[in-house]
Amino acid sequence: MLLECAGLTMRFGGLTAVDAVDLKLEKGQIMGLIGPNGSGKTTFFNMVSGIYKPTAGEVRLSGRNIAGRRPDYVASCGIARTFQNIRLFSGMTVWENVMIGRHCRMRQSILDDILGTARKQAEEKAAQEYLTGLLTLFKMQHMLHEQAKNLPYGKQRELEIIRAMASEPELLLLDEPAAGMNPQETAELIEFIRKLRDMGVTILVVEHDMKLVMNTCDRIAVLNNGRKIAEGSPREIQTNEAVIKAYLGKKVKEGA
Amino acid sequence: MLQEFIQQIVNGLVLGSTYTLIALGLTMIYGILGIVNWAHGELYMLGAFAGLYLAVVLKLPFIVALLGAMIILAVCGMLLERLVFRPLRQAPELNMIIGTLGISIFLMNTAIVLFSPNPLSFPTEYSNEYLSFLGIAITMQRLLVFFITVVLIALLNYLIKYTELGKAMRACEQNPDAARLMGIDINRISLVTCAIGAALAAAAGVLVGPIFLVSPQMGLLAIAKVFAVVILGGMGNVEGAIWSAFILGLAESLTAGFFSSDYKDIITFFILIAVLIFRPQGLFGNNVIEKV
Amino acid sequence: MRSEWIKYAATGAIILLALVFPLLGVKSYYLHVAILGLLHAILALGLNLIAGYTGQLSLAQAAFFGIGSYVSALLMLNVKMSFWLAAPIGACAAALVGILFGLPTLRLKGPYFVISTLGFGEIIRLVFLNWESVTRGPNGLTGIPAPDDVALGFVTLTFDTKTGAYYLVLVTLLAVLALYYNLVYSRIGRALRAIHSDQIAAEVMGINLTFYKVFAFALSAFLSGLAGALYAGYIRFISPDTFTIGEAVNILIMMVLGGMGTIAGPIIGAVSITYLLETMRVFADYRLIIYGLLMFFIILYMPQGLVGVLAMAKDFLAARFPLPISRGTDEPPGQKGAAPVKGEI
């Protein structure tokens, strides 16, 4: 198991946002996490990525418990994420953004950096090689010097995913990657995620866009009111009674 | 000993009242506009000069001068909102701080050129009236500071809790975007907040100007302490600011009275740093979780 | 690229001018102003590291300046330590205090840090003023010796003249600059700018916020302390009057006017403002009024200060006088060292 969450719980004062959720994810899998607004998906993400300290429960990455550790530690263990409301380093270039994404994989010491030693040069060069390959794969190699804030919306979303990929994570968390996208951009994003799957990346994705979820995910877990009410293949979820009831019997919403 | 103690308690209440009035505006502006107003001490200083002018030069009764200075500074507060805060609102946090700090330097040095750097005394009709109590004499001015502060706090409390305007202000503080969607004019609320904040700072200036002295540098000296008050009370927390203002005022005057006045300024900052280490959300705040 | 050449040529010319400046027969007073300008450049570069790059404004820089001065001066006076040992110890003492103060205050997000630096600066000044048995209170420390002569075999360098002091400060500044440049265009520099841009995103990228913020702050304190030791060794007399909040504000204005978040900016700002400060004393009263307003308008309309203006001039020149050499835009990364990361000088 790559990721194992057991009894993960988050309470804010009297409100229980996530209530004893268990979740398992195998290497190479893409799992969708869906549920109505306020069902605790983003809170769940924030616990796994270290931004919130869980009230109770465990998060195991390849067997190691990382619950309650700081985000930078979690990142160096191999979990990368994107944000629902894009958080790029907006005044910096595309290149700088991905270089920062690679921060925790670069091994030079502070002294190497200040003195500009050969070790620093070698680390920078290795990073540049990897990142040039990554950016070329996702067709962004021609916009390296563009400021992140000047990119079109869809490209900003993609850049945020590439930045997360820069650290060669074991597990990639995508928080509503299709939010605010038009159908054309969403179609491109689906292609993008399939490419990631072909690379063998393990992904946990929160998404409202059912087209994206059904087309990319191997398994889907459904949260409602902070509890996991169902888990299974996309087909099983589409016919699951509890899920349909959670969405108030409405036809499953597209877009969001 | 007892007399000394009571004397220091009275001093502490006077200081606490001053800090309260300045801190209230500062914390409200932070809560609603999201701006740390480094020029807030200058509003207090300008208020003191306005009161001095109205009372000493125009020879108006003290209470009239107090109200006059509050009105003048309310207008200044609105100008500040319109000309300084609004353009800075979308700027990064660092730029906001440097921007308002620039305005603070500008205002203080303009005052130095206009009024000279030398402290002025501000005599009022209450300066020489004493109230005797347990063998100690307290000037009416000191009692007035405390009394008027209580009245102003009560008025502010009524305004925030029970009026439409107050509800709108609280809505803006909780969630500006939602407030805008509910049809609240954020710019108007910001203007009113700055007017109230500036008027309260002016009241502080006019009230304690006669006890201490009035000088262009008084704002700088006060603002450092008031920042400590605001952090101690929890940034943006009005009630917390009031309690911590009095706690710090008393701590400061008791230190001055029983240890050494050399240490009275240091004690405030030590309390501040201790709070940052052990309870960064303030003594009265809850743990706030940043939304991601 | 053409505009890069303009930049390198200008930098080279300025360094050359700085090196020959004392030989041009300038009046001793202007040499004094130049020394103060270079010292302030080190101070402004220090502030720039924590404020311009990391986004955490410090109003305690004058305090670290003072700690470096007092510690090195006291070591020289009381234990007869050589300047060459006392100066680095003074700088390290400032850095150590910076770490101790930064750990609790930089841990927090929000305006807490800058507010507590205001109080901290005041505490340090009060310590200088009131701890009379050590600091001699308001009278300050007098009779601080100049740095010892350095014998290099064929020549002996002396530092008790203005020329000697000038070269000492200049060489220190150039050495600082070389390391500063490395740091800014490295993983550390990127991490600091990421923190400035978005702390939460930076943290999620694996950047240890507290570590990098405290590191930048300690380094900025170190530079201020170093400037303080050099100042003590040059001016030979220090008192609490030098290390006030007013001085901290001066340093801030230099950084903002020159251009924060750039390397050239703080130096340009420090040298030009020190020059104006010393030579236009007639306007002393109006000086801060103007600086206050300037600070506001620069931050609003020209956040890169004079460097921003120079960059525009440079691009204008490059566009007016194109060279028929290869333009070399959009080089793939990896071709030329850290080429893709360079934004501005």
CA-to-CA distance for B83 and B76, rounded, in angstroms? 10
Please tell me whether residues A64 and A94 are part of one structural domain.
no
Query: Is pLDDT at C337 greater than 70 in this prediction?
Result: no
What pLDDT is recorded for position B288? 53
Closest CA to A165 of A199, A129, A215, A194: A199
Task: Report the Cα–Cα distance between both ends of chain A, in Å, rounded.
Answer: 32
Region of residue A63 (phi > 0: left; psi between -120 and 50: alpha; otherwise: beta) = left
pLDDT over 90 percentage in chain C: 61
Chain A contact set for C202 (CB, 8 A): 89, 100
**What top-level class would CATH report for the domain B2-278?**
mainly alpha
C178 residue type, one letter: A
Asked if A46 is an interface residue toward chain B (Cβ–Cβ < 8 A), one would say yes
- Beta bridge partners, A175, equal A206
Domain membership flag for residue A185: no
Beta strands in B13-163 (DSSP E): 130-133, 136-139
What pLDDT is recorded for position C334? 42
3-state helix, strand and coil shares in percent for chain C, rounded to the nearest 5 = 75, 0, 25
Query: Is pLDDT at A60 greater than 90 in this prediction?
Result: yes
Q: Which residues on chain C place their C-beta less than 8 Å from a C-beta of chain A?
A: 179, 182-183, 186-188, 190-191, 193-194, 197-198, 200-209, 215, 330, 332-334, 337-338, 340-341, 343
The last residue of a domain, from among A100, A134, A151: A151
Closest CA to A71 of A160, A173, A222: A173
Instruction: Give the closest-approach CA distance of A190 to chain C in angstroms.
Output: 24
What pLDDT is recorded for position B78? 96
What pLDDT is recorded for position C174? 96
CA-to-CA distance for C268 and B165, rounded, in angstroms? 49
Domain membership flag for residue C127: yes
* pLDDT class of C329 with cuts at 50, 70, 90: very low
3-state secondary structure of C157: strand
* pLDDT class of A223 with cuts at 50, 70, 90: very high
Closest CA to B247 of B93, B25, B72, B19: B19
Q: Which residues of B18-46 are buried (b: 16+ CB within 10 A; e: fewer)?
A: bbbbbbbbbbbbbbbbebbbbbbbbbbbb
CATH assignment of the domain containing C225:
1.10.3470
Domain membership flag for residue A31: yes
For residues B223 and A249, the model is more confident at B223
Q: Which residues on chain B place their C-beta less than 8 Å from a C-beta of chain C?
A: 30, 36, 84, 87-88, 91-95, 97-99, 101-110, 112-113, 220, 223-224, 227-228, 231, 235, 262, 265-266, 268-270, 272-273, 276-277, 280, 290, 292
The last residue of a domain, from among A119, A151, A183: A151
Closest CA to B19 of B236, B248, B232, B176: B248
Put simply, the answer to whether B227 touches C119 (Cβ < 8 Å) is yes
Domain membership flag for residue A171: no
Q: Report CA torsion sign: A240, A244, A247, A250.
A: positive
Put simply, the answer to whether A103 touches C208 (Cβ < 8 Å) is no
Please tell me whether residues A11 and A64 are part of one structural domain.
yes
Domain membership flag for residue C10: no
Domain membership flag for residue C242: yes
**What Cα–Cα distance (Å) separates residue C254 from each residue in B187, C23, C35, C224, C266?**
34, 27, 15, 14, 6
Q: pLDDT tens digits, residue range C216-234?
A: 999 999 999 999 999 999 9
Chain B contact set for C248 (CB, 8 A): none
CA-to-CA distance for C131 and C127, rounded, in angstroms? 6
What pLDDT is recorded for position A172? 95
Put simply, the answer to whether A83 touches B289 (Cβ < 8 Å) is no
C206 residue type, one letter: G
Put simply, the answer to whether B273 touches C200 (Cβ < 8 Å) is no
CA-to-CA distance for B139 and B128, rounded, in angstroms? 7
Asked if A42 is an interface residue toward chain B (Cβ–Cβ < 8 A), one would say yes
Query: Is pLDDT at C326 greater than 60 in this prediction?
Result: no
Please name the residue of chain C whose CA is at the shortest distance from the CA of residue B222: C119
What pLDDT is recorded for position B91? 87
**What Cα–Cα distance (Å) separates residue B21 from each residue in B88, B149, C227?**
25, 7, 40
**What Cα–Cα distance (Å) separates residue B184 from each residue in B75, B83, C240?**
22, 21, 51
What pLDDT is recorded for position A248? 57
CA-to-CA distance for B183 and A250, rounded, in angstroms? 31
Q: Match 């009046």 to its residue by tokens.
A: C27
Chain A contact set for C95 (CB, 8 A): none
Put simply, the answer to whether B292 touches A83 (Cβ < 8 Å) is yes
Instruction: Give the closest-approach CA distance of B17 to chain A in angstroms.
Output: 33
In the predicted model, what is the mean pLDDT of chain A? Answer: 90
CA-to-CA distance for C328 and C318, rounded, in angstroms? 14
Query: Is pLDDT at C63 greater than 70 in this prediction?
Result: yes
What pLDDT is recorded for position C320? 77
Please name the residue of chain C whose CA is at the shortest distance from the CA of residue B38: C115
Put simply, the answer to whether A12 touches B292 (Cβ < 8 Å) is no
* pLDDT class of C26 with cuts at 50, 70, 90: confident
Mean pLDDT across C322-332? 48
CA-to-CA distance for A135 and A129, rounded, in angstroms? 10
Domain membership flag for residue A217: yes
Helix (H) or strand (E) holding A3: strand A3-12
Q: Which of A91, A95, A115 sits opposite C340 (nearest CB)?
A: A95
What are the DSSP calls for B202-270, one per residue? HHHHHHHTTTS-B-TTHHHHHHHHHHHHHHHH-TT-HHHHHHHHHHHHHHHHHHHHHT-GGGHHHHHHH
Put simply, the answer to whether A49 touches C183 (Cβ < 8 Å) is no
Q: Token pair of A242, please?
A: 């509890």
Q: Are A72 and A29 in contact (CB under 8 A)?
A: no
3-state secondary structure of A55: coil
Please name the residue of chain C whose CA is at the shortest distance from the CA of residue B35: C111
Helix (H) or strand (E) holding C314: helix C305-320
Domain membership flag for residue A202: no
Strongest mean pLDDT among A30-39, C38-47, C245-254: C38-47
Q: pLDDT tens digits, residue range A22-39?
A: 999 999 999 999 988 888
CA-to-CA distance for C52 and C257, rounded, in angstroms? 12
Lowest mean pLDDT among A85-89, A141-145, B152-156, C25-29: C25-29
* pLDDT class of C1 with cuts at 50, 70, 90: low
Closest CA to B136 of B15, B7, B253: B7
Cβ–Cβ contacts within 10 Å for residue C251, how many?
Answer: 28
What pLDDT is recorded for position B205? 94
**Domains identified in chain C, total number:** 1
Chain C contact set for A49 (CB, 8 A): 204
Asked if B94 is an interface residue toward chain A (Cβ–Cβ < 8 A), one would say no
Query: Is pLDDT at A73 greater than 90 in this prediction?
Result: yes
CA-to-CA distance for B215 and B90, rounded, in angstroms? 34
Q: At what angle do helices B186-208 and B164-174 cross, to 10 degrees?
A: 110
Domain map (residue ranges) of chain B = 2-278
What pLDDT is recorded for position A249? 55
Q: Which of A81, A93, A116 sits opposite C204 (nearest CB)?
A: A81
Mean pLDDT across A3-29? 91
Put simply, the answer to whether C116 touches B266 (Cβ < 8 Å) is no
Cβ–Cβ contacts within 10 Å for residue A126, how many?
Answer: 15
* pLDDT class of C322 with cuts at 50, 70, 90: low
Query: Is pLDDT at C340 greater than 60 in this prediction?
Result: no
What pLDDT is recorded for position B286? 58
Q: Which residues of chain B have pLDDT under 50?
A: none
Q: Is the ipTM of this complex over 0.95?
A: no
Put simply, the answer to whether B276 touches C105 (Cβ < 8 Å) is yes
**Domains identified in chain A, total number:** 2
Q: Match 């910076």 to its residue by tokens.
A: C98
Q: pLDDT tens digits, residue range B11-37?
A: 899 999 999 999 999 989 998 888 999
Query: Is pLDDT at C214 greater than 50 in this prediction?
Result: yes
How would you list the strands of the sheet with A3-12, edge to edge?
A15-25, A3-12, A56-61, A64-65
Interface test with C, best of A77, A86, A89, A109 (most C CBs within 10 A): A89
Residues 258-287 of B with CB under 8 A from A: 286
Query: Is pLDDT at C113 greater than 80 in this prediction?
Result: yes
Mean pLDDT across C69-85? 95
Mean pLDDT across C238-262? 93
- Beta bridge partners, A59, equal A5
C328 residue type, one letter: G
Which chains, if any, share at least 3 CB pairs under 8 A with chain B? A, C
Please tell me whether residues A119 and A59 are part of one structural domain.
no
Chain B contact set for A42 (CB, 8 A): 292
Range of the domain at A93: 89-151
For residues A174 and B278, the model is more confident at A174
Asked if C302 is an interface residue toward chain B (Cβ–Cβ < 8 A), one would say no
